[in-house]
């Protein structure tokens, strides 16, 4: 099965939506929180692609600009070098709230971020069965969890945005939720609700960031849990979900190959790469 680089060309998207981009920018420019330096045509395009209508896109974009102004997000500058490093989870590079979260990961491969190809997107791999969900709920506030997700999204967005601008192709994130060793005893409903609430609160701020969420190797009971908690998650998130078993059904590998070439895709997901755990994005901070 060959890799499928289906990323659309940015120049084609900008040309196709030129009129709506101009209309939306005219609305945004009236806002005190608008910044021409940070909110260019590509940034505006992401909101149009997610919300379709200018009215809905403008509401989401204004909400985002105001939020970023309140949180002073633009003043943070380039934070790509602060990407999560599972090989050194307590590194000073990593934001404090994320270091705290990593304390509740039972193994170093429980939560990993990697970029197999610098010209493609980021891959996030999560093993929910290796995360002490109860520990997170008991020791981290909902605000701390939200802060961790926000800063993580900011880092990853900056990475894929740079790739998008450099390659000219709209680049997104692949999130793999691996159910290997996910026992029912690992499950905590309060954690799932907090996770869903944080994702819902942040969904407007990073449009066109998440490409696909692949649930792989999930036990049967987990599917029932997903059906139960699916209504708590943002609709746009749910629409991006795929449930697969790549080793049992080789055709399922196609969901990964949209983001990772077969030679770089790990064997447990149907690829040829035997390296495990995955390599961190050290190229972002090593000189």
Query: Best-predicted range by mean pLDDT among 60-69, 196-205, 223-232?
Result: 60-69
Grouping H, G, I as helix, E, B as strand and the rest as coil, residue 81 is: helix
Give me the pLDDT at residue 226, please. Answer: 63
Place of tokens 């490093």: 85
For helices 41-51 and 142-167, angle between their N-to-C axes, nearest 10 degrees: 110
Q: Which residue has the tokens 């939200």?
A: 146
Residues in the chain: 287
Confidence at 187, pLDDT banded by 50, 70, 90: confident
Beta bridge partners of 131: 105
Of 91, 235, 82, 213, nearest to 153 by C-alpha is: 82
Amino acid 6: pLDDT: 82
Which tokens go with 160? Answer: 């894929």
Query: For residue 241, what pLDDT band results from cuts at 50, 70 and 90?
Result: confident
Beta bridge partners of residue 243, listed in sequence order: 215
Whether the per-residue pLDDT at 2 is higher than 50: the answer is: no
The pLDDT-based confidence of 223 (bands split at 50, 70, 90) is low
Q: Note the helical H segments in the chain.
A: 10-16, 18-28, 41-51, 54-71, 96-102, 133-139, 142-167, 189-202, 220-229, 235-238, 254-257
Residue 209 has pLDDT above 50, yes or no: yes
- Across 96-103, average pLDDT: 96
Query: Among residues of the chain, what percentage have pLDDT more than 90?
Result: 74
User: Rounded to two decimals, what is the model's pTM?
Assistant: 0.90
């Amino acid at each position: 099965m060959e890799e499928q680089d289906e990323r659309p060309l940015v120049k084609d998207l900008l040309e196709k939506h030129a009129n709506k981009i101009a209309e939306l920018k005219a609305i945004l420019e009236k806002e005190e929180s608008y910044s021409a330096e940070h909110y260019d045509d590509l940034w505006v395009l992401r909101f149009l692609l997610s919300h379709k209508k200018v009215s809905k896109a403008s509401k989401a974009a204004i909400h985002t600009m105001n939020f970023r102004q309140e949180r002073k997000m633009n003043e943070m500058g380039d934070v790509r070098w602060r990407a999560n490093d599972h090989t050194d989870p307590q590194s000073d590079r990593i934001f404090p709230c994320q270091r705290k979260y990593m304390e509740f990961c039972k193994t170093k491969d429980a939560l990993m971020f990697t970029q197999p190809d610098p010209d493609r997107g980021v891959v996030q791999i999560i093993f929910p069965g290796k995360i002490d969900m109860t520990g997170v709920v008991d020791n981290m506030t909902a605000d701390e969890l939200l802060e961790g997700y926000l800063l993580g999204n900011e880092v990853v967005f900056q990475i894929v945005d740079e790739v998008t601008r450099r390659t000219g192709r709209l680049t997104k994130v692949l999130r793999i939720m691996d159910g290997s060793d996910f026992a029912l005893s690992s499950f905590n409903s309060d954690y799932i609700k907090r996770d869903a609430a944080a994702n819902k609160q942040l969904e407007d701020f990073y449009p066109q960031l998440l490409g696909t969420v692949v649930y792989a190797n999930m036990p049967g009971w987990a599917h029932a849990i997903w059906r139960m908690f699916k209504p708590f998650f943002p609709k746009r998130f749910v629409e991006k979900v795929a449930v697969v078993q790549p080793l049992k059904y080789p055709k399922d590998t196609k969901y990964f190959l949209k983001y990772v070439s077969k030679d770089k895709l790990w064997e447990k997901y149907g690829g040829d790469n035997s390296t495990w755990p995955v390599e961190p994005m050290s190229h972002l901070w090593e000189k």
